[in-house]
Amino acid sequence: MTPAGRRAAVDRVTATPPALAALAQLRKRRGAVIFYQSGGCCDGSLPVCLEQGDLRIGDGDVYLGSVGGCPVYIDDRQYAVWKHTQLIIDIGDGEPEGFSLPAGDDLHFVTRSRVFSPDELAALQSAAQTERRPPT
């Protein structure tokens, strides 16, 4: 939140309409889920989607925001490399890798990104959006 109580003009994480639709269906079937942006495989392009409670969030994890009512976290070391980019949760064809929940039949979640403009970075820094935890 900004000092005036308004949200920053840009979010650190967003989702495409197909990803939001997939999340809505997944939440109907599985309940609350979270995303963790892992750097372990595929150049960090595959987020891990898990049922809430299946992953312990630690002090070294950064809360980026939420998409479709689902919190999104990233490891602080990976955040240090990606902090200049907006993460965009999307879907792709094929089954998910590893432990991630599927985005639907033969679909998986994928992360795309874009570089923030200097104005967007300044707005994010003034809002201190990167240091907050999800609302309780």
pTM: 0.83
For residue 115, what pLDDT is reported?
A: 97
For residue 41, what pLDDT is reported?
A: 56
> Radius of gyration over alpha carbons of the chain, in Å?
14
Q: What string of pLDDT tens digits covers the 136 residues of the chain? A: 334 444 557 899 999 999 999 999 999 999 999 999 976 655 556 899 999 989 899 999 999 999 999 999 999 999 999 999 999 999 999 988 778 998 999 999 999 999 999 999 988 888 764 455 565 4
**Measuring CA to CA, which residue among 118, 116, 131, 134 is closest to residue 11?**
116
For residue 129, what pLDDT is reported?
A: 47
In which residue are the tokens 């997939």 written?
22
In which residue are the tokens 């070391």 written?
77
* CATH number, span 15-127: 2.60.300
Strand ranges in 1-136 using DSSP code E only, listed in sequence order: 13-15, 33-37, 47-51, 61-67, 70-75, 85-93, 107-115
Cβ(67)–Cβ(89) below 8 Å: yes
Q: What angle do CA 74, 64, 116 make, to 5 degrees?
A: 105
> 1: exposed, middle or buried (C-beta count within 10 Å: 0-12, 13-18, 19+)?
exposed
